[in-house]
Amino acid sequence: MSKKANHAHFRSARPIWPKDRELDRNLTAGFRGVAAKRKDDRLTLHIAASTLYRCYLNGRFVGHGPARGPHGHYRVDVWDLSEHANEGDNIIAIEVAGYNINSYYVLDQPSFVQAEVRAGTEVLLATTAERGFEAALLKERIQKVQRFSFQRTFVEAYALQSGFDRWRSDMSAPFDAVICAETNEKLMIPRDVPLAAFTVRHPIALYARGEVARRKSQGVYWRDRSLTDIGPLLGGYEMEQLAFILSDELTDLPAHSLRIIRQPLAQGSSLKLKPNEFGIMDMGINRTGFIGSTVRCRIRTLLYITFDEVLREDDVDFLRFGCVNALRYELEPGTYRLESFEPYTLRYMKWIAAEGACEVSEVYMREYANAAAGKAQFESGDERLNVIFEAGRETFRQNVVDLFMDCPSRERAGWLCDSYFMGRAAFSLTGQTKVERAFFENYLLPDGFPHLPEGMLPMCYPADHYDGVFIPNWSLWFVIQLEEYLERSGDRQLIEAMRARILELFDYFERFKNEDGLLERLEGWVFLEWSKANEFVQDVNYPSNMLYAASLAAAGRLYRLPHLLQEAERVNQAIREQSFNGSFFIDHAVREDGRLVQTPNKSEVCQYYAFYFGTADPERDPELWHTLLTGFGPSRKRTNAYPDVHEANAFIGNYLRLELLARYGYVQQSLDESADYLLYMAERTGTLWENDGDYASCNHGFASHVVHSLIRDVLGVYQIDPIARSITLRLNDLEISCCKGVLPLEGGAIRVAWTKASGRVEYRIDAPPGYKVKVENRTGLPLHSRMDETI
């Protein structure tokens, strides 16, 4: 690649890194320089990096990034510095963490930073020897530490002295400059997704105080694969290389004398900790972002911060779901402004003075969240649904920054299937498809996906799956989502660009088709949902084949390939003949002596797959539909109805059920069951969960789909077609007195309000210019338009 290839993104900057260190694991470097601003200048920082960076202007936080791109491609962020820039000299400081290990979260690519500050088109400062950025290794972040989780990179641990961060705001502060070298040229692409919101939030209460009882080694410690499996397939430092094992240290500090306080905290409140004391603070709901505070200590102090989304026996269990939810600070006497480099998810944070003593004040979380999710408004006459909507919004904004993530905590990974549900929520909340397009673009741009079979798509991406693990049937959700994306965006260009990749995917599945045209003995991790159904995936898994048929049909419509539509119908017919036993669809058949033998195994989610993907429908299968309608749902845990049909879970069976109820006209039942499934989650964490219990992520991106459902089924905005510029308002027969809302849309917003009054439904809808509105009345009552009134 020529040096001019990326001139559109950088005019002068080159990719650099401390010489001979670009492959070092968990190395953090600092870069700083001075840019002089004239009175009317608009200063901008243009930056790309591997792996992650955060940047400052005169010591003030500016941003964190970059937006993630695919292998060999780097997205360029642009930050406007003008608002807080001084006339005259300004110090720009950048911290970059180069991880150089594989994860589900960020890519294992050599470290670099490429950045420049401009005043208009003039380059004032750039990562070249001539333009004035200088670099140093930031050794206060301890390098040889354990992974945060199997899916993410390293925990954070620091050894600090007072003034450690002066270099960000004072060019005279000590800064042990090192020589940098240019790295290989990088292929730059635009960020293309909105910048994040960094709202500062504060704890609302001091929940508890207590002491820790330091004990000597117990010999029984958490030994997760993220500790024990380090090697060629999982990057990191082996246990004998670690400076310490943070999870072991904290295991040796069990709490005792814990006292529940629930004392409201005013902003700026302080918490004084004596040796071995701790305090637990409550953020009120789950938040995701960077943990910060001011800490003062007169003697050397070892400070831990542990955190989690829920409490166990009124305490923070930092290992609850396979993460080391902890920070470690060794602090010499002095005053510190601390802020984590990585974003974390929590409702509760526990501050522990394991050695020494300190005063913790001005505790905050700087959110790392979607900036556009707050534009939509929804308020109904059913307060349960209002609470759930806000929990869905909160879940969305924490999981959609640069791509669609499964959770903002354990993984921060761009998972397929989750993305199908989140694509709908994104359009409903923001009126945009920018994040969804970038999500698809990440799958489009690479030449291929190493360590995976030819034609297969990664189960989550950008990620490095050195162990070769993939979910074959998850790739089929990609195709179904792609068809819906076209309806939301009209982006035929991306659809056509994806054509070869989609057809290569179906070519991959050809080798697994048996004599009946069904997929048999799929390789990899065949996954359906978090339930017993995952044990019934071989040899012929019928839910996977239902999904296969739906994806064939979607591709047939996308690319006008009738043979795929015909094959989809043949697959569905074979499933109906083999899987339906007269009462339920069974989950799988096994190959015995050359013939397929149906098993008795039945799961609830299998039935939902059948109806959701069109293998079954209420007209063809009225008895089964009636059984699902009346005998299944959230009440099953109480009634134990149909004990031989294994229960579904939140991800994804319960959500498929809610969609089916709404699809076939049982909207009020869908809403009531939504409350049964979700309200306790919303009330406990302010977010929606991965499972129906709190044993995993309590903030899972797919669950934000409920906002789409409420907008569609309660507010009544059933369909928005931005290509035909049409809106369908469908008002349903509900036990709700009123609803109003605002939905952002390119070129304006949709405003809807309706109320039941005097035996009729009065409504008003305002649409952006050029949009046509079609109204469908399913209320059973007369409609009256209030077009002359203001919403």
Q: Is 754 exposed, middle or buried (0-12, 13-18, 19+ CB in 10 A)?
A: buried
The rounded percent of the chain whose pLDDT value lies above 90 is 94
Report DSSP state, residue 240.
Answer: G
| CB neighbours of residue 5 within 10 Å | 12
What's the whole-number mean pLDDT along residues 619-634?
97
Question: Which residue from 613, 566, 565 is spatially nearest to 585, judged by alpha carbons?
Answer: 613
CA 157 to chain centre: 24
Give me the architecture of the 200-214+253-367 domain, per CATH. Sandwich (2.60)
Question: 282: cis peptide before it, omega within 30°?
Answer: no
Secondary structure of 58-124 in HEC code, one letter for each residue: CCEEEEEECCCCCCCEEEEEEEECHHHCCCEEEEEEEEEEECCCCCCCCCCCCCEEEEEEEECCEEE
Q: Quick one: pLDDT band at residue 791, thresholds 50, 70, 90?
A: very low
The predicted pLDDT at position 788 comes to 56
> In what side-by-side order are the strands of the sheet with 717-721?
717-721, 726-732, 772-778
Q: Quick one: pLDDT band at residue 747, thresholds 50, 70, 90?
A: confident
What's the whole-number mean pLDDT along residues 403-432?
98
Instruction: Round to whole Å and give the CA distance between 83 and 89.
Output: 14
Residue 756 pairs with which residues in a beta bridge?
761
Per-domain residue ranges for the chain?
A: 16-141+163-190, 200-214+253-367, 377-715, 726-785
Q: Mean pLDDT across the chain, nearest whole number?
A: 96
pLDDT digits (tens, 9 = 90+) for 302-317: 999 999 999 999 999 9
pLDDT digits (tens, 9 = 90+) for 695-731: 999 999 999 999 999 999 999 999 999 999 999 999 9
Q: Quick one: pLDDT band at residue 130, thresholds 50, 70, 90?
A: low
- Please provide the CATH number assigned to the domain covering 726-785: 2.60.420.10
Q: What are phi and psi of 358, to 5 degrees?
A: -160, 165
Instruction: Round to whole Å and give the CA distance between 424 and 333.
Output: 51
Q: What are phi and psi of 570, to 5 degrees?
A: -65, -40
What's the whole-number mean pLDDT along residues 131-149?
95
pLDDT higher than threshold 70 for residue 131 = no
Q: Quick one: pLDDT band at residue 8, thresholds 50, 70, 90?
A: confident
Q: Are 143 and 26 within 8 A, CB to CB?
A: yes
Do the domains at 200-214+253-367 and 377-715 have one common CATH topology? no
The predicted pLDDT at position 637 comes to 83
What's the whole-number mean pLDDT along residues 422-436?
98
Q: Which residues of 304-337 are buried (b: 16+ CB within 10 A; e: fewer)?
A: bbbbbbbbeeebbebbbbbbbbbbbbbbeebebe
- Please provide the CATH number assigned to the domain covering 16-141+163-190: 2.60.120.260
pLDDT digits (tens, 9 = 90+) for 73-116: 999 999 999 989 999 999 999 999 999 999 999 999 999 999 99
Q: What are phi and psi of 188, to 5 degrees?
A: -95, 140
Report DSSP state, residue 38.
Answer: P
- The DSSP H or E segment spanning 620 is none
Q: Are 770 and 789 within 8 A, CB to CB?
A: no
Q: Are 253 and 214 within 8 A, CB to CB?
A: yes
Q: Are 186 and 112 within 8 A, CB to CB?
A: yes
pLDDT higher than threshold 70 for residue 4 = no
Calculate the dihedral angle through the C-alpha atoms of 191, 338, 328, 174, rounding to the nearest 10 degrees: 90
Q: Give Cα separations from 158 to 134, 246, 275 (angstroms).
A: 23, 12, 19
pLDDT higher than threshold 60 for residue 2 = no
**HSE-CB for 288 with a 13 A CA cutoff:** 28
Instruction: Round to whole Å and give the CA distance between 784 and 404.
Output: 40
Q: Quick one: pLDDT band at residue 663, thresholds 50, 70, 90?
A: very high
- The DSSP H or E segment spanning 133 is none
The predicted pLDDT at position 129 comes to 64
pLDDT digits (tens, 9 = 90+) for 466-486: 999 999 999 999 999 999 999
pLDDT higher than threshold 90 for residue 267 = no
Q: Give Cα separations from 343 to 53, 60, 369 (angstroms).
A: 12, 18, 10
Q: Quick one: pLDDT band at residue 641, thresholds 50, 70, 90?
A: very high
Q: Are 472 and 455 within 8 A, CB to CB?
A: no
Q: Is 676 exposed, middle or buried (0-12, 13-18, 19+ CB in 10 A)?
A: middle
Instruction: Round to whole Å and give the CA distance between 405 and 528.
Output: 18
The predicted pLDDT at position 13 comes to 97
The predicted pLDDT at position 638 comes to 87
- The DSSP H or E segment spanning 706 is helix 705-710
pLDDT higher than threshold 90 for residue 790 = no
What's the whole-number mean pLDDT along residues 344-363?
98
The rounded percent of the chain whose pLDDT value lies above 70 is 98
Instruction: Round to whole Å and give the CA distance between 489 and 42.
Output: 33
Q: Quick one: pLDDT band at residue 1, thresholds 50, 70, 90?
A: very low
Q: Quick one: pLDDT band at residue 787, thresholds 50, 70, 90?
A: low
What's the whole-number mean pLDDT along residues 511-532?
97
So what CATH class is 377-715? mainly alpha
Angle between helices 418-430 and 383-399 (to 10 degrees): 110
Give CA angle at 5 (4, 10), nearest 5°.
Answer: 70
pTM higher than 0.85: yes
Q: Are 695 and 400 within 8 A, CB to CB?
A: no
Q: What are phi and psi of 200, to 5 degrees?
A: -90, 125
Specify the residue for token string 């909340």.
429
What's the whole-number mean pLDDT along residues 26-40?
95
Instruction: Round to whole Å and give the CA distance between 743 and 723.
Output: 17
